């Protein structure tokens, strides 16, 4: 579990293909501030993707990328020299900020526009057009709600369900702390929608399905509605009393 508060920006210094599964081994350097308490097997979110540390030294750490990670994230597009957002897994004694971030990237989005607004930076992102995954994620994107972009917890300023786009604003402090401010139109970012929203949406959808099919608690509700309708029809003389 993570918070979406980026601790450090590291640099990709090595990208080696795996012979076994089509994945890669990546090495990130200039990472000493997040390696003081590191152990093999620890989780570090890299651009929002929860990855397992396989090796490390005082300045660098290695992780493996499986095909699923390559399909879901922008990590496969990284080249040596690219910088990435990093956050260690949440510790029990840590003050909690941001929002609950799982480190399970849902999809990628493309930067559609980027422009300064006073000392802030406004960005709009385009989700993959009309895919089942996009349609399932849109209910969890709401103005003033949370979204995780390349691992950073950010506030949504606008959502256009029809265009399947969403927008955020970076204050000056965030521009200094995140790799997002150095990206350009057309670049891809990792997106994880608010997990709480996903759970609520699923629970509501399941409840509505039960009502529609008349099963579970929905059957009791359906019976109550039928009795009310029948009573009204009898009072109006549509049905015999």
56 classed as catalytic: no
Q: Sketch out the chain's domains with CATH numbers.
A: 8-88 (2.40.30.20), 107-194 (2.40.30.20), 199-235 (no CATH)
Tell me which of 30, 94, 96, 104 is the catalytic residue: 104
Tell me which of 14, 30, 52, 113 is the catalytic residue: 52
50 classed as catalytic: yes
86 classed as catalytic: no
Residue 204: band (very low, low, confident or very high) from pLDDT cuts 50, 70, 90: confident
39 classed as catalytic: no
Residue 101 Cα to chain centre, angstroms: 7
| CB 74, CB 110: distance < 8 Å | no
Query: Using CA atoms, how far apart are residues 125 and 33, in angstroms rounded to an integer?
Result: 31
Tell me which of 30, 113, 155, 182 is the catalytic residue: 155
Whether 226 shows a pLDDT value over 80: the answer reads: no
Residue 218: band (very low, low, confident or very high) from pLDDT cuts 50, 70, 90: low
Least confident window among 65-79, 91-105, 161-175, 204-218: 204-218
Whether 68 shows a pLDDT value over 70: the answer reads: yes
Per DSSP, the residues of 80-147 read TT-EEEEEEPPPTTSPP-S--B-S---EEEEEEEEEEETTEEEEEEEPPTT-HHHHHHGGG--TTSEE
157 classed as catalytic: no
Tell me which of 31, 45, 49, 50 is the catalytic residue: 50
pTM here is 0.81
Q: What are residue 37's phi and psi, to 5 degrees?
A: -115, 25
| CB 157, CB 167: distance < 8 Å | yes
Residue 234: band (very low, low, confident or very high) from pLDDT cuts 50, 70, 90: confident
Tell me which of 29, 66, 89, 167 is the catalytic residue: 66
Beta strands in the chain (DSSP E): 8-17, 24-29, 43-46, 49-56, 61-65, 83-88, 107-117, 120-126, 146-149, 152-160, 165-170, 188-193
Residue 238 Cα to chain centre, angstroms: 54
43 classed as catalytic: yes
Tens digits of residue pLDDT in 90-135: 876 666 677 889 999 999 999 999 999 999 999 999 999 889 999 9
pLDDT at 122: 96
66 classed as catalytic: yes
pLDDT at 237: 67
Residue 200: band (very low, low, confident or very high) from pLDDT cuts 50, 70, 90: confident
Tens digits of residue pLDDT in 128-165: 988 999 998 998 999 999 999 999 999 999 999 999 99
């Amino acid at each position: 579990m993570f918070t979406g508060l980026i601790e450090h920006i590291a640099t990709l210094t090595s990208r080696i293909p795996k012979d076994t599964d089509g994945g890669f081994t990546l090495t990130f350097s200039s990472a000493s501030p997040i390696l003081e308490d590191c152990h093999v097997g620890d989780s570090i979110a890299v651009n929002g993707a929860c990855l397992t540390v396989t090796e490390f030294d005082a300045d660098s750490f290695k992780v493996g990328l499986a095909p699923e990670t390559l399909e879901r994230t922008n990590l496969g597009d990284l080249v040596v020299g690219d910088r990435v957002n990093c956050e260690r897994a949440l510790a029990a004694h840590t003050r909690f900020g941001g929002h609950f971030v799982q480190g399970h990237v849902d999809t990628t989005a493309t930067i559609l526009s980027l422009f300064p607004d006073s000392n802030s930076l406004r960005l709009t992102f385009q989700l993959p057009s009309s895919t089942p995954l996009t349609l399932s994620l849109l209910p969890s994107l709401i103005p003033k709600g949370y979204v995780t972009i390349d691992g950073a917890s950010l506030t949504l300023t606008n959502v256009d369900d029809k265009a399947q786009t969403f927008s955020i604003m970076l204050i000056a402090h965030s521009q200094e702390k995140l790799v997002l401010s150095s990206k350009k139109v057309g670049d891809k970012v990792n997106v994880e929608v608010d997990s709480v929203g996903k759970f609520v949406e699923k629970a509501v959808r399941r409840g509505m399905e039960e009502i529609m099919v008349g099963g579970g608690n929905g059957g009791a509700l359906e019976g109550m509605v039928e009795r009310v309708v029948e009573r009204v029809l009898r009072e109006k003389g549509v049905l015999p009393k």
